[in-house]
Amino acid sequence: MTDLLLAPSILAADFANLQRDVELINRSKADWFHVDVMDGVFVPNISFGFPVMDAVHRYATKPLDVHLMIVQPERYVDAFAKAGAAAITVHYEACTHLHRTLTQIREAGCRAGVALNMQTPVELLTDLTDSFDQVLIMTINPGFGGQKLLPLSIPKIQKMRRLLTEAGSSALIGVDGGVDLKTIGSVLAAGTDYAVAGTAVFGASDPLQAIEQLKKRPTPPMA
Ligand code: DX5
Ligand code: ZN
């Protein structure tokens, strides 16, 4: 069994001490930086854009996993690739031509990711399993950090796992929202490969220890 990949979300970092927080993740056992970009249209919040992306890229020594919570993400894919993204995830709900956008991401030299909001069934990706490298199951309604994981998202992870296995796809399954030491056991048991965690990392008194504990693969809850 391979280790869970952990992607701390910069959204929960201290922006007045961004270099310090990026360097903390560099020193940690975390695998990727998760970079949440929100436009105030696709989600009811605005986070940050290129100045913060550039600052993170300047100091980060681990891959940048960019999560675009924006409308018409195809307009910004190339710019985020140029700004140092290793992976770019766009929302199914924001893409009229999802296949075209995923192809654009790969052509820009990045891993292509697709995120699914709560209401979007995993089956809608059946015909595109060769076209993405990772799929992000939202375990909250996106827009804000610090929310509670919605349990109705757990069966979706299992369904996604079955769908990818049947298709012979090696795409990774990620989860985003409300991941902490209490919830990580259930998302892992459901078949998650990578987990995003904001508050559980940066809100902890010892973020390095929190990262280690989250990556430990706690015993799955009893069925
Ligand atoms: C929310 C973002 C998440 C968020 C997770 O819309 O996509 O990545 O930062 O934050 P926590 O871990 O605090 O739920
Ligand atoms: Zn995210």
* 184-221 pLDDT, tens digit each: 999 999 999 999 999 999 999 999 999 999 999 665 55
Question: 95 pLDDT exceeds 60?
Answer: yes
On the CB side of 41, CA atoms within 13 Å amount to 9
Question: 1 pLDDT exceeds 80?
Answer: no
* 36, 46, 175, 201, best to mutate for ligand 1 pocket (most atoms within 8 Å of CB): 36
Distance separating alpha carbons of residues 208 and 101, to the nearest angstrom? 36
Average pLDDT over all residues of the chain: 96
Which are the contacts of 61, defined by CB distance < 8 A and separation ≥ 6? 26
Question: 36, 65, 133, 180: which one is catalytic?
Answer: 36
- Per-residue pLDDT of 46-67, as tens digits, reads 999 999 999 999 999 999 999 9
Q: What is the DSSP letter of 54?
A: H
* 9, 32, 33, 117, best to mutate for ligand 1 pocket (most atoms within 8 Å of CB): 9
Q: Whose CA is closest to 197, among 119, 153, 155, 140?
A: 140
Strand partners, 100: none
- Per-residue pLDDT of 127-157, as tens digits, reads 999 999 999 999 999 999 999 999 999 999 9
Q: Whose CA is closest to 147, among 5, 6, 12?
A: 12
Q: For the residues 67-84, what does the mean pLDDT come to?
A: 98
**What is the helix (H) or strand (E) element at residue 18, kind and residue range?**
helix 18-27
Q: Are the beta carbons of 217 and 188 closer than 8 angstroms?
A: yes
Q: For the residues 11-15, what does the mean pLDDT come to?
A: 98
Which are the contacts of 122, defined by CB distance < 8 A and separation ≥ 6? 116, 135, 137, 156, 159, 160, 163
pLDDT for the residue 3 = 83
Question: 223 pLDDT exceeds 50?
Answer: no
